[in-house]
Amino acid sequence: MKYICLGYIEPGKFQGMTEDERHAMLDACFEYDDHLRANHHFAAGEALQPPESALTLYWKNGKVATTDGPYAETKEQLGGILVLEARDLNHAIQLISQHPGLRYGPWEIRPAADLNEMVRESELRRKKSSEG
């Protein structure tokens, strides 16, 4: 059995932090991710780029239609995350266009953010503080 976990943060909250606060938060998050991984709990997960990078697909008059931005209507709630491996955004659109679930509710496609550099920096900081 799998559980999909959705993380939310208030817009601007991350930007409003001081650099030290930001580092402390990231270090704590990545450390816990490492802990989950070590215990085989972490099956799949990705960080999302900001809502401005989103594109929404919907079903209209028997056809696929698109609009840019996130799908932020109040009626529907986010129901799941599918981590899709695709060549580019249009390939991802094409794959999701064929998903039967699209006929019952919209999908938001968001490119994953590459956090490798941030993780590496965080590891260095943590290593340094444990040595010191």
Partner 1 sequence: MSFHKPEMTSAKPVPLSRAIEVLYRSESGRILATLVRLLGDIDLAEEAMHEAFATALEAWRDSGIPERPRPWLISTARFKAIDGMRRRARFDATQTDLGLYLETQIHDEPQEEEIEDDHLRLIFTCCHPSLAPEGQVALTLREVCGLTTEEIARAFLVTQATLAQRIVRAKAVIRDKAIPYQVPAQQELPERLGAVLQVVYLVFNEGYSAETTGSELSCEAIRLGRLLHELLPEPEVMGLLGLMLLQESRRAARSSPEGDLILLDQQDRSLWNRDQIAEGIGLTESALASRRFGAYTLQAAIAAVHAEAPTTASTDWRQIVALYDGLIQIQPSPVVELNRAVAIAMWKGPEHGLRLIDAMLMRGELTNYHLAHSARADLCRRLGRISEARTSYERALALVRQEPERRFLAGRLRDLK
Write the single-letter amino acid at 74. Answer: T
Q: Name the segment binding partner 1 (CB under 8 A); options: 16-24, 33-41, 80-88, 120-128.
A: 80-88
96 binding partner 1? (CB under 8 A): no
60 binding partner 1? (CB under 8 A): no
Cβ neighbours of residue 31 under 8 Å, at least 6 residues apart? 126
Q: Name the segment binding partner 1 (CB under 8 A); options: 6-14, 21-29, 30-38, 48-56.
A: 48-56
Q: Are 33 and 42 in contact, with CB atoms under 8 Å apart? A: yes
* Identity of the residue, 21 or 67, whose beta carbon is nearer to partner 1 in the bound complex: 67
105 binding partner 1? (CB under 8 A): no
* Identity of the residue, 35 or 103, whose beta carbon is nearer to partner 1 in the bound complex: 103
Contact residues: partner 1, CB under 8 A: 52-55, 63-64, 66-69, 85-91, 93-95, 97, 111
